Every structure is written in C-alpha cells, then in structure tokens.
C-alpha cells in the first residue's frame, strides 16, 4: 500500500492545506484547502504535489479575463462603459455625421490631443463612480481636457446646460430644479415649472402654495 503523504499545513500556490478530506477514490486522498481569495477547495493530493492545482479556480479565471482584456477594461469580448463614453465624446466632437455634433464639434468644442488615446483618457479620469455618471465639462464652452472634465450624474449635467435659466433665490443664482431639491419641494416638478415659467409666479410663492 502506498504510504500516505501528509500535506496538512503545507502550501501549494495560493492554497494552504487545512486537513484531509474524503478520498476521491480508494487510496486517492483529497485535502481541504483554503485559497488566498478566501474560498475553500477540496483537492486531490497528487494534483497539489504535481502543481496541477494551485488555486480554487480564481487564478484560472483571472488569467482568462486578462487574456481577453484590453487596457485592463474589457472582459469576455465586451467593451467597458468608459470606452463607449470616450468614443461618444470623440464622435460628437469630430464626426460631422454624429448625433449632437452641432452642439459640440460644430461650435468648436474639441478633444485634447492626449485624449485621442483611450489609455490616456482612462488614466486621467479613472473608473466612473457609478452607471449614472457620464463625462461633464466644468466650463460648458471649454474643450474636453483633463482639467476641464469630471464624472457627473445626469442631474448635475442638466443643471449645467447652456439652456438652463438661473434664478436669484435667497442670494444665489440657481436652476429651478436645484431650488426644488434644496427646499425639499413636495410639489410636482411639472406644476412647479408651470407656475414659475408659464404663469410667472415668484419662486417663493410657487413653492409654498398648495396645489
């Protein structure tokens, strides 16, 4: 009978052997192992000693992802959201046939030379904080550059549109939507907007009168 080699306490790749487990087949022992990623795995002893199994499977997954990854941002053949946003930025500034070109490239908005490479754009902007965030220019008349762009939610971008009307409210110039958010207005947005912009009510009156 083959002498059992005790593997308890030993380490193989990312796996630390905890204790012997049930045999896979007669005289083919398995061992309970803990992977560096935190998962547990039951592995045949020979596979550990021969270097055939060195993780719970996480290492293989990481290598697979890396093989199909471009710039560290795509996996499984799919582009990352940041890539699509970057491409849309380039298109609306440089492609006259792109949707929205008239509001960007058509009025002189450009993408800086550094950002013509996606890797540079990603290095400067990093990952977007959430699926609700898109690219916003701090100066709405300025170009797409590292110092003029941030990740922002669509609500913030809406507040930054050239077409928004700013209202003097309690010493500050704000959009009506910003005023509604800051005052926790319970009146519907449609009603509030109609009162101020269509009926000509003062903001204070529009905010306080019941429907």
pLDDT (0 to 100) of residue 1: 47
DSSP H helices in the chain: 45-49, 58-67, 81-94, 118-125, 154-159, 176-182, 189-193, 203-208
pTM value? 0.45
pLDDT (0 to 100) of residue 64: 59
pLDDT (0 to 100) of residue 156: 56
pLDDT string in tens for the chain (211-residue length):
467 889 999 999 999 999 999 998 888 999 999 999 889 999 999 999 999 999 998 887 777 555 555 665 655 556 778 888 999 999 999 998 888 898 899 989 999 999 998 888 988 988 888 888 888 887 778 899 998 888 887 655 555 554 456 778 888 777 788 888 888 888 887 888 888 877 888 888 888 888 7
pLDDT (0 to 100) of residue 133: 87
Could you tell me which residues come within 8 angstroms of residue 133 by beta carbon, excluding any fewer than 6 positions away? 151, 152, 153
| Residue 170, phi then psi, degrees to nearest 5 | 55, 45
Could you tell me which residues come within 8 angstroms of residue 129 by beta carbon, excluding any fewer than 6 positions away? 151
Phi-psi region of 27 (alpha: psi -120 to 50; beta: other; left: phi over 0): left
**Which residues lie across from 33 on neighbouring strands?**
17, 41
């Amino acid at each position: 009978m083959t002498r059992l080699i005790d593997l308890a306490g030993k380490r193989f790749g990312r796996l630390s052997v905890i204790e012997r487990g049930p045999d896979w087949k007669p005289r083919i022992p398995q061992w309970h192992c803990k992977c560096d990623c935190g998962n547990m795995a039951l592995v045949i002893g020979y596979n550990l000693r021969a270097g055939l199994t060195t993780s719970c499977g996480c290492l293989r997954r990481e290598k697979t992802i890396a093989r199909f990854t471009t710039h560290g941002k795509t996996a499984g053949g799919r582009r990352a959201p940041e890539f699509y946003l970057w491409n849309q930025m380039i298109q609306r500034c440089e492609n006259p046939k792109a949707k929205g070109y008239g509001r960007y490239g058509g009025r002189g908005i450009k993408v800086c030379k550094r950002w013509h490479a996606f890797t540079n754009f990603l290095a400067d902007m990093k990952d977007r904080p959430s699926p609700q965030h898109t690219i916003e220019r701090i100066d709405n008349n300025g170009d797409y550059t590292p110092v003029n762009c941030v990740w922002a939610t669509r609500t913030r971008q809406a507040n930054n549109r050239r077409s928004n009307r700013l209202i003097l409210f309690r010493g500050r110039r704000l959009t009506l939507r910003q005023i509604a958010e800051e005052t926790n207005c319970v009146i519907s947005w449609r009603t509030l907007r109609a009162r101020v912009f269509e009926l000509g009510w003062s903001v204070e009156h529009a905010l306080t009168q019941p429907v």
